[in-house]
Structure 1
Amino acid sequence: MYSSIVRLQNTFGFFTTVAFAVACIIAASDLFSARTPSVGVLKTTNVQVVRGRPHYYSSKKEEYAIIRFSLDADLSSLFTWNTKQVFVYVTAEWPSAGGSGSGQNATNQAVIWDSIITSPSADHLANLGPVAMRKLRRSAAGKSIDPSRGRLSINNQRPKYQITHPSSKVANQEDVVLRLHYNVQPWVGILTWNPDEDFLKWKTLKGNLSRKFALPGLKKKDEGKTGTRS
């Protein structure tokens, strides 16, 4: 006769086996859901380079780039019944002066803006106020996935982060581009980023690269006053 402890162990083992099998099926279901995100507009609207200190007590000054941008993208196809939230971020990238042959990174990359888009079933996890929460619940009422989720329309967005370089110099940098990235965080399964190539029904993110632009030089202060007093 089996003891109560052995029976409990067998029941628990059977439950974990079934739960693991169901979790694998749920995770695999994402592979059969089409992901066709696209970007209509990704462009800079204002670019500045300023000098500042990395912290209050520092005597050293660094150059910081402030990049405003506009974005129009449709990431709604990333939301399925297994999507918990989507992490979206924009990076500024430019080539290193020395290149990969000098032992440096071939490309510099820095995040200038990011955002988390939750699915309706995960809205309670977002740090939202009561008014915004009521609007989200109202928009998602009766729908498994709100169609407006993942549709971004941003104009002249101020960056969340100013960017610099280990050399403390970014002024007059050429061949800078903005790139949009995403990271899908499912309820069950692994984190997935935007693929470089098409994979089954998952398509690459089209139009996520802006045109090349240059970081301007620092504004020089007027040296002395012009004109004389009579």
Structure 2
Amino acid sequence: MYSSLVRLQNTFGFFTSVVFAVAALVALTDFITPRAPNVITLKTTSLSVVKGRPHYYSSKKEEYALIKFSLEADLSSLFTWNTKQVFVYVTAEWPASGDNSTNEAIIWDQIITAPSADHLSNLTPTAKKKLIKSAAGKSIDPSRGRISVKNQRYKYQITHPSGRIAGTSDVVLKLHYNVQPWVGLLTWNQNADFWKWKQLKGDRSRKFSLPAIKAKAGTKN
């Protein structure tokens, strides 16, 4: 006959197999849920390039760009009952000289949690309490994925290893997202449609050029 220890091991093994099977099924539900994120507006509202120390720990003065922008996007289809949070960020991209590569720098980011993950938000106690209360009883809240910001201030300045960035041309802003599920794989922007998952549309602004040092431009691209 089996000893108590063997029975316990068998029970634990069976329980583990069931948990993994359920987790796999939960992860697979993401692939049968349609995704159709789109960007309605993404444009610059203010551009400037200054020379100085972009960070307190910078050892030398260099040119760095400051970009403000407006963004309106609908990422609500990325939120399902298995979504923990969505990491959204905007980058500035421009061709690198001498090769076919691209320079890329993040200028703004935001973490959007699902109602079931609000307790993980890095918020003040009062703000967190209001957020949890508003999400009571909801596993999915599509409004969380709707972003609307106007003349949004940058979070991060743009620099270049050469120390020069003024006058850079063919710069575009691009929206990115990263879906972090409770169970399953992390997913990023798609380059093409995949079954029920659609490519992010309108994720790029028009091309623009960075102004000369200390010059400012209120262009709308």
Return the offset for 1:131.
Answer: 3.0
In 2, the alpha carbon distance for the partners of 1:219 and 1:120 equals: 44
Query: 2:67 maps to what in 1?
Result: 67
**8 A Cα contact 1:139 1:146, kept in partner:** no
1:170 Cα deviation after fit: 0.6
Q: CA deviation at 1:195?
A: 0.7
2:136 is the counterpart of 1:141: yes
Q: Which residue of 2 aligns with 1:126?
A: 121
Distance 1:121 1:70 in 2: 29
Alignment of 1:32-181 (within 5 A): 32-56=32-56, 60-100=60-100, 106-181=101-176
How far apart are the structure 2 equivalents of 1:143 and 1:39? 25
CA distance in 1, matches of 2:120, 2:56: 34
TM-score of the pair, normalised by structure 2 = 0.93
Report the Cα distance in structure 2 between the residues aligned to 1:81 and 1:42, rounded to whole angstroms: 28
User: What's the secondary structure of 2:8's corresponding residue?
Assistant: helix
Alpha carbons 1:47, 1:216 under 8 Å: kept = yes
> 1:118 corresponds to which letter in structure 2?
T
1 CA distance for matches of 2:139 and 2:185?
21
Letter of the 2:157 counterpart? Q
Q: Which AA in structure 2 matches 1:27?
A: A
Q: Greater relative contact order (Cα 8 A, min sep 6): structure 1 or 2?
A: 2
Distance in 2 (CA, whole Å) between partners of 1:44 and 1:120 is: 31
Q: Which runs of 5+ in 2 are unaligned?
A: 216-221
Cα distance between partner residues in 1 of 2:175 and 2:57: 35
Q: Which runs of at least 4 in structure 1 moved beyond 6 Å after TM superposition? A: none
Name which one, 1 or 2, has greater alpha-carbon Rg: 1
Shift of 1:67: 0.5
- Equivalent-residue separation in structure 2 for 1:33 and 1:61 (angstroms): 50
Could you say what secondary structure the match of 1:179 adopts?
Answer: strand
Residue 219, structure 1, aligned to residue 211, structure 2 = no
Q: Secondary structure at the match of 1:149?
A: helix
User: By how many angstroms is 1:129 displaced?
Assistant: 1.9
Q: Which position in structure 2 is the counterpart of 1:226? A: none
CA RMSD of aligned residues (A): 1.5
Distance 1:181 1:55 in 2: 25
Between 1:47-56 and 1:118-127, the stretch displaced more is 47-56
Per-residue deviation at 1:154? 0.2
Aligned-pair identity in percent equals 71
User: 1:150, 1:26 → 2: CA distance?
Assistant: 21
- TM-fit CA distance, 1:152: 0.5
* Unmatched runs of 5 consecutive residues or more in structure 1: 101-105, 221-230
Q: 1:23 to 1:54 in 2, by over 3 A?
A: same
The 1-side partners of 2:24 and 2:16 are apart by 12
* Cα displacement (A) at 1:25: 0.3
The aligned residue for residue 227 of structure 1 is: none
Structure 1 SS opposite 2:142: coil
